[in-house]
Structure 1
Amino acid sequence: MIISGSVVKYGDNIDTDVIVPGKYLGITDYEELGRHALEGIDPDFSSKIKQTSILVVGENFGCGSSREEAPVALKYAGVKCIIAKSFARIFYRNAINIGLPIVVCSEASEKLNDGDMVTINLAEGVIINTSRNEVYRTKALPGFILEILKDGGLVAYLRRRLT
């Protein structure tokens, strides 16, 4: 699975309450929920991510409460992939379960900047910064996770396997 796009970058310890504030948790229209993603740290995030698509963050992304709405909001805002130094475990699983690709890569998290163009090969664990001709290596995602992502999430993956 290969994903390409340009980068928008934020810092460390962005928790789920910042990703999608509690006042929006009642929204059942995912497109609407996506319009409010990360608005607490960047009111223009929703419009920026539509032009960029790759979210790069620092350590401990998605910490805090285990709300599934956080990765859902990011996915429906237009995020194609998240690259981080580290993720909170529950956020990591929730992202995979809803079909949002995520990659742990400290080097990429540190070196990528806003506007950099990247190509991410999830199966091989390679991130190419085509803006600066740099390659960052990370652990390839396991085959079953790639299948879940390819199907668009865990429910679709299980539905396909059970029919």
Structure 2
Amino acid sequence: MKYQGKCHKFGNDVNTDYIISGKYKFKTLDMNELAKHVMEDLDPDFYSKVTPGDFIVAGSNFGCGSSREQAPLAIKHANIGAVLAKSFARIFYRNAINTGLPVIECDTDLIDAGDLLDIDLAGGVIINKTKDIKITVKPLPKVMITILNDGGLAPHFRKHGGFNFDQGV
């Protein structure tokens, strides 16, 4: 899985209410509508700045807070290609993979807002094209790559009738 995009950078401890405010997630289940409000408490113009495939880049503990799946789903529906952070809240991380949103743990200190990245998720390589820097990360396990390629856990189950053990899942 390879991705290209521009970075939108945030700090540490970005909780799920910053990702999608509670004032929206209880009004609608329409993910396309929720996507218009992703990250708006931290950057009111975020949605209008995003180009499909762009990345959210953050510090540590991204996605802390509630365990609702709306946060990673809203990010995915905002056309974000992946989220990169130093660390993720465990429930957010699993919800992201389950909903088909790539998440990458890496040192984000070498990435700034506006930087252009090439990411090889299976190979564990991030190229910061703006700074001509290579960042090596631990590749995701094959099972997670397969689930992401299938669009998330539910689509994977529909496609294969359960876990596809032939693909290492």
Fold shared, TM-score > 0.5 on shorter chain: yes
Match of residue 69 from structure 1 = 70
Deviates more, 1:44-53 or 1:145-154: 44-53
CA distance in 1, matches of 2:50, 2:96: 17
Match of residue 60 from structure 1 = 61
Match of residue 22 from structure 1 = 22
Off by >6 Å, runs of 4+ in structure 1:
none
CA distance in 2, matches of 1:7, 1:32: 22
Match of residue 153 from structure 2 = 154
Q: Deviations over 1:17-63 (max 9, x none)?
A: 11111111131111100001111111011111236711100000000
1:88 paired with 2:94, answer no
- Provide the secondary structure at the position in 1 that maps to 2:51: helix
CA distance in 1, matches of 2:50, 2:56: 8
- Provide the secondary structure at the position in 2 that maps to 1:97: helix
Quick check: 2:96–2:103 contact (8 Å CA) kept in 1? yes
Quick check: 2:53–2:81 contact (8 Å CA) kept in 1? no
Q: How does 1:129-144 map to 2 (within 5 A)?
A: 129-144=128-143
In the alignment of these two chains, the number of paired residues is: 161
Q: How many Å apart are 1:162 and its aligned residue?
A: 0.9
Residue ranges of structure 1 left out of the alignment (5+ in a row): none
Q: TM-score, normalised by structure 1?
A: 0.95
1:128 paired with 2:121, answer no
1:35 paired with 2:46, answer no
Quick check: 1:104–1:138 contact (8 Å CA) kept in 2? yes
CA distance in 1, matches of 2:89, 2:101: 15
Q: How does 1:89-104 map to 2 (within 5 A)?
A: 89-104=90-105
Residue ranges of structure 2 left out of the alignment (5+ in a row): 163-169
Q: CA RMSD in A?
A: 1.2
CA distance in 1, matches of 2:53, 2:8: 6
Amino acid at match of 1:90: I
CA distance in 2, matches of 1:8, 1:16: 17
Q: How many Å apart are 1:117 and its aligned residue?
A: 0.8
The alpha-carbon distance between structure 1 residues 160 and 52, as it changes in their structure 2 partners (threshold 3 A), is: closer
- Provide the secondary structure at the position in 2 that maps to 1:114: coil
- Percent of aligned pairs with the same amino acid: 47
Match of residue 113 from structure 2 = 114
- Provide the secondary structure at the position in 2 that maps to 1:119: strand
Amino acid at match of 2:94: R
Q: TM-score, normalised by structure 2?
A: 0.92
Quick check: 2:52–2:81 contact (8 Å CA) kept in 1? no
